[in-house]
Amino acid sequence: MTPLLLSGSAPTRARFSFEVFPARSGAAALALGHAVQHLSAAGPDFISVTYGANGSNRDASLDLLRYLREHTEALPLAHLTTVGEDRDEVLRTIHAAMDAGVHDFLALRGDPPRGSSEDNPAVVGSLSSRELVELIAEARAERPPLTSVGRTAVAAYPNGHPLTRSRAEDIDWLIAKQEAGAQFAVTQLFFRAEEYLSFVADAEAAGLRIPVLPGLMPVSTSAQLRKVASLAGRPAPAALERALEESGGYAPELGVEHTVALARELLEGGAPSIHLYTFNRHEQVLAVLRELELLTPDPVEA
């Protein structure tokens, strides 16, 4: 598997990155500021910031990217979606991110507005994720980044995208995004290493050359586990589900344990690094990295 060299230097140990989302209240923003300081101190390859489809949280997303850029050492990576926004609006958002010193993007199409489907006019008229990769490249050519590497990532679905559920179609589309200029991919959540490893093996056999970062989330609650299962498109492991329920529906240590075991299998199987969905908390993802001995020095202990 191709190693991911975001910093340009050869990593001596497995690398990692994080995902956060914009806070939905002032109190949550304070907690998030605290969390991202800890996340940044762990030395991730990047911290990605989600974007609400239809531009619903554009300003909050940009604010958080700016905060990361100005108040942490971490490289911010901006998620972008196209549903519900025309080409000019998407381009304005790309420029706004670039003006804030953010040149790394995850190019997504986004989901149809809640309660609607793929034939919603907001979806039909939107740019595809492949066209978004091209648009970012055009914007970057006009404004070459001065301070960061400037890379474009795309999404990958080891268990298939909900609409297709066909591995061949998902792989063909991922390769089309690679051909458009995507430099790495980040996966949707999944529970079992085999799901990722077989997807990447099949994709590489079909011509994929870019690294695919497995997306992992240590869950704390039964509700989060159900959410991950619906995103993964597969049932949660029964033992984990049972253990969480027996703990009263809240047991962060169980999510850490499962994620550590999964990450070990993935890294041993050749995954280039791990991308951790933080749920805007630092404790669990840092516990995962500590168990994997990937924190040097430990930002909490130091």
Selected from 69, 161, 226, 227, the binder of ligand FAD by CB under 6 A is 161
**Beta carbon of residue 165, minimum distance to ligand FAD (angstroms, whole number):** 9
Binding of ligand FAD at residue 108 (CB under 6 A)? yes
The residues, ordered by sequence, that sit 6+ positions from 245 with a Cβ below 8 Å of its Cβ are 222
Q: Which two tokens stand for residue 85?
A: 């926004």
**Beta carbon of residue 158, minimum distance to ligand FAD (angstroms, whole number):** 10
Binding of ligand FAD at residue 58 (CB under 6 A)? no
CA-CA distance, 20 to 160, in Å (whole number)?
23
Binding of ligand FAD at residue 17 (CB under 6 A)? no
CA-CA distance, 59 to 96, in Å (whole number)?
10
Q: Which of residues 230-249 bind ligand FAD (CB under 6 A)?
A: none
Q: Report the candidate in 199, 174, 173, 189 with the shortest Cα–Cα distance to residue 1.
A: 199
Binding span for ligand FAD by CB under 6 A among 4-12, 105-113, 138-146, 282-290: 105-113
Q: Give Cα 240 to chain centroid, integer Å.
A: 23
Q: Report the candidate in 187, 185, 182, 103 with the shortest Cα–Cα distance to residue 149.
A: 103
Binding of ligand FAD at residue 163 (CB under 6 A)? yes
Q: Give Cα 123 to chain centroid, integer Å.
A: 22
In the chain, at which residue ranges do the beta strands (DSSP E only) sit?
A: 15-20, 47-49, 76-80, 104-107, 152-156, 184-187, 212-213, 215-216, 273-277
Q: Which amino acid is at 261?
A: A
C-beta of 1 vs 243, nearer to ligand FAD? 1
Binding of ligand FAD at residue 111 (CB under 6 A)? yes
| Count of residues engaged in binding ligand FAD, rule: CB under 6 A | 23
Binding span for ligand FAD by CB under 6 A among 48-56, 87-95, 138-146, 241-249: 48-56
CA-CA distance, 238 to 119, in Å (whole number)?
36
Binding of ligand FAD at residue 129 (CB under 6 A)? yes
Selected from 7, 164, 230, 296, the binder of ligand FAD by CB under 6 A is 164
On whether the CB atoms of residues 274 and 213 are closer than 8 A, the answer is: yes
C-beta of 129 vs 273, nearer to ligand FAD? 129
On whether the CB atoms of residues 170 and 157 are closer than 8 A, the answer is: yes
Selected from 44, 55, 76, 110, the binder of ligand FAD by CB under 6 A is 110
Selected from 47, 94, 155, 263, the binder of ligand FAD by CB under 6 A is 155
Binding span for ligand FAD by CB under 6 A among 4-12, 49-57, 140-148, 260-268: 49-57
Collapse the DSSP code of 2 into the 3-class scheme (helix H, G, I; strand E, B; otherwise coil) and give the result. Answer: coil
| List of residues contacting ligand FAD (CB under 6 A) | 50-51, 53, 79, 81, 106, 108-111, 128-129, 155, 157, 161, 163-164, 169-170, 173, 186, 188, 215
